[in-house]
Amino acid sequence: MALSSTGYVVLGMLALGPRSGYDIKQLADVSTRHFWAISYGQIYPELSRLAKAGLVKAEDASRGTRHRTIYHLTDPGRRLLKAWVANPELEKIEIRDEMLLKLFFADAMSRKDTVRHLDAMRRRHEEIAAGLRETEPMAASQPHRMKYEVLKFGVALHEWCADWYSKLGRDLQSEWRAGNDV
Amino acid sequence: MALSSTGYVVLGMLALGPRSGYDIKQLADVSTRHFWAISYGQIYPELSRLAKAGLVKAEDASRGTRHRTIYHLTDPGRRLLKAWVANPELEKIEIRDEMLLKLFFADAMSRKDTVRHLDAMRRRHEEIAAGLRETEPMAASQPHRMKYEVLKFGVALHEWCADWYSKLGRDLQSEWRAGNDV
DNA sequence: TCCTTCATGTAACTAGTTACATGATTAT
DNA sequence: ATAATCATGTAACTAGTTACATGAAGGA
């Protein structure tokens, strides 16, 4: 019974307590999103699969005519999640960065445009870091240490990226001002 | 005529000179792979599409019975590539990191396993950085400055990640040795 | 009243991977 | 010989996004 990583995300969110598909999405959007985004189009079908496999259990939580289903982990679900987390296999890491792609192909670009592009990249990472920092109070106040550490990693990572692009832009400019035609 | 980013990668590789689909894959594997991986299953169909759109032109370069097709950029192809590169739109950036996902859900993990997991993450990033560093002489000797800068970014990024995980592991251990039951 | 949030779900689509099939050439 | 590399391509599959449809509840 091999689950997709997204399946484990759903399981993991339910390990924090019973919630609806909607809740899972909201929670993922302020926590795992910066390194593992998920959408409704994955969540709802995944919940059905997990329920069919007996890893989660659905429970009706409708309020009046407004229907709502909350899911909770079953024992097998909790065991499977734990086994996955503890398995030290080298899992995949993947980055897709279109702006970096443009920078890679930017050799024919004008100096002005290159600097502008680097500035946009800096700004982009600063914005991501700022967005993450907003969730910091929430992450700091809950008892899950690793979740907080992962958030701090995200903030630090994007700040580091912003600094790197900022520095490259400055270096290139001073180099160009010095008249070195590289 | 909007191309996928992968389409632009193909175009960009051909901007360096005419090459085959096979060549494009080899080149991408030692250059863009760390932030934009591509596979044969994308390259060959993409080349057909680009040729049909008149952005590249196929040329038979078979040697005897062994067939080989090299592609080169057409003027419209070169123009489109240039326009894409120069367009400062905020393009998407995406990370998918399964190990970070496990760390995020690692709160129930034993201390020993947490430390081991962090060590595996550190090693993973060191290996990626080392793999990238191997291509450094090649990147340094060619005249495309930005390609070299992007490579240096990749090396520095993964080294930074390795250091971060390394530091977190050390911090947690000393914290635990100090007897703080967090 | 109207906008936002809550809430669930599907269908069509886009993107990308993996496995397979084929076969020549070159290095060991 | 035989293994590695060169070389092209497709089919089946997996993963994920986006748009759409529906509608209730709650706040401005």
Q: Let me know whether B33 and B71 are in one domain.
A: yes
Nearest to A108 among B37, B82, B182 (CB): B82
CA dihedral B174, B177, B179, B182 (to 10 degrees): 50
Residue A118 has pLDDT above 90, yes or no: yes
Q: Do A144 and A78 fall within a single domain?
A: no
Q: Say whether both A131 and A72 belong to one domain.
A: no
- How far is C-alpha A96 from the chain's CA centre? 13
Is A52 part of any domain? yes
Instruction: Please judge whether B105 and A34 are an interchain contact, meaning their C-beta atoms are less than 8 angstroms apart.
Output: no
Write out pLDDT tens, residues B91-116.
899 999 999 999 999 998 999 999 99
Place of tokens 């759903």: A10
Q: Are residues A19 and A76 in the same domain?
A: yes
Q: Give the pLDDT band of residue A126 (cuts 50, 70, 90).
A: very high
Same domain, B146 and B115: yes
What's the burial of B4, exposed, middle or buried (CB within 10 Å: 0-12/13-18/19+)? exposed
Proportion of chain A above pLDDT 90, given as a percent: 88
CA–CA gap between residue B182 and residue B175 (Å, rounded): 9
Mean local confidence (pLDDT), A150-164? 98
Tokens of B39: 């596979």
- B44-90 pLDDT, tens digit per residue, is 999 999 999 999 999 998 877 788 999 999 999 999 999 999 998 87
**What average pLDDT does this structure show over B131-137?**
94
Determine which of B35, B112, B142, B180 to mutate to test the interface with A (most A C-beta atoms within 10 Å).
B35
Instruction: Using alpha carbons only, give the angle A12, A60, A51 rounded to the nearest 5 degrees.
Output: 45
Indicate the pLDDT class of residue B1, thresholds 50, 70 and 90: low
Predicted local confidence at residue B67, as pLDDT: 87
Evaluate whether residue B123 is within a structural domain.
Answer: yes
Number of domains in chain B: 2
Q: What is the pLDDT of residues B138-175, one digit of tens each?
A: 999 999 999 999 999 999 999 999 999 999 999 999 99
Between residues 84 and 103 of chain B, which touch chain A (CB distance below 8 Å)?
A: 84-88, 90-103
Are residues B106 and B168 located together in one domain of the fold? yes
Q: pTM score, two decimals?
A: 0.94
Question: Residue B18 falls within a domain, yes or no?
Answer: yes
Instruction: For residues A16 and A57, state if they share a domain.
Output: yes
In terms of residue numbers, what domain contains A56?
A: 5-86
Predicted confidence at residue A91, as pLDDT, reads 80
Q: Could you tell me the pLDDT band of residue A89, with boundaries at 50, 70 and 90?
A: confident
Q: Is residue A91 part of a domain?
A: no
Percentage with pLDDT > 90 across chain B: 87
| pLDDT classification of A137: cutoffs 50, 70, 90 | very high
Residue A29 is part of a domain; what is its CATH number? 1.10.10.10
Phi/psi for A64 (5° steps) reads 65, -130
| More confident of the two residues B2 and B13 | B13
Is A93 part of any domain? no
B73/B128 same-domain check: no
Note whether A30 contacts B: Cβ–Cβ < 8 A.
no
B57 touches B67 (CB < 8 A): no
> How much is the average pLDDT of A130-153?
95
pLDDT value of position B64: 77
Average pLDDT over residues A165-170: 98
Note the pLDDT of residue A14: 98
Q: Is B27 exposed, middle or buried (0-12, 13-18, 19+ CB in 10 A)?
A: middle
**Residue A2's pLDDT band (boundaries 50, 70, 90)?**
confident
In this structure, are A19 and A51 located in the same domain? yes
Q: Which amino acid is at B39?
A: S
Residue B142 lies in a domain: yes
**Six-digit token pair at B93?**
């950036």
On whether residue B155 sits in a domain, the answer given is yes
Q: With an 8 Å Cβ cutoff, is A112 touching chain B?
A: no
Shortest distance, CA A44 to any CA of chain B (angstroms) = 20
* DSSP bridge pairs for B30: none
- Strand D and B69 CB separated by under 7 Å: yes
Task: Let me know whether A110 and A80 are in one domain.
Answer: no
Give the pLDDT score at B181: 60
Band (A64; pLDDT cuts 50, 70, 90): confident
- Coil/strand/helix, residue B24: helix
Is pLDDT at B182 greater than 60 in this prediction? no
Query: What is the sign of the dihedral through the CA atoms of A110, A112, A113 and A115?
Result: positive
Residue (of B17, B32, B25) closest to B143 by Cα position = B17
Please give the Cα distance from B10 to B116 (Å, whole number): 40
